[in-house]
Amino acid sequence: MTRTRIDHALKLLSWPAAFYIAYILLWYQQYKLTGNEGSVYLFNILADWLHIHGYEKPFRLAVASAEIVASVLVLVPVTRVYGGALALCIMSGAIFFHTVSPLGTDPYGDGGVLFHEALAVWLCAAFVLVAYRHEAFDRVERLTGWRLVTPPEQGR
């Protein structure tokens, strides 16, 4: 299989990953945006742990807003790289806070469903970035001037 066929196959396979990312992130908006008691509880633990007492609501709404933006971006092929990168960053933060804060990996006593979904979204976002790696490298180079990958030499 040639490189372009593999890249095309990866991009086709990124659709289910993008839909899964958007589904999970948007599903939890009903809890974050409405101030559900479970969501408020989790963000209060984090706000207190971060010593930003009383800022649970802005913290929760900022995370919700970032997740909505990532959900929209990851569904549009032209902006999929940005959505995948944003989802990866958000889920990296979620995984970090679940593992090092008093929140823990199983805050609801349900076997860690929330934590496992964060891991699954992280993996899907990483896959999206792998599938769109050439575009991601091009955008990093355009934005920063840094060349992360040297193109292969012609004629080899």
- What pLDDT does 156 receive? 46
- pLDDT tens digit sequence for 74-132: 999 999 999 999 999 999 999 999 999 999 999 999 999 999 999 999 999 999 999 99
Side-chain-side CA neighbours of residue 99 (13 Å): 9
Q: What is the pLDDT of residue 155?
A: 47
DSSP letters spanning 85-124: HHHHHHHHHHHHHHHHSTT-S-TTSSSSHHHHHHHHHHHH
Band of residue 2 on the pLDDT scale cut at 50, 70, 90: confident
2/98: higher pLDDT: 98
> What tokens appear for 80 in the block?
């999929």
Give the mean model confidence (pLDDT) for residues 23-45. Answer: 96
Per-residue pLDDT, 1? 62
Q: What is the arithmetic mean of pLDDT over 21-39?
A: 97
Structure pTM?
A: 0.90
Sign of CA dihedral 132, 8, 13, 20: positive
Largest Cα span, the chain = 62
pLDDT above 90 for 139: no
pLDDT in tens, 39-58: 999 999 999 999 999 999 99
Give 112's contacts (C-beta < 8 A, 6+ positions apart): 105, 106
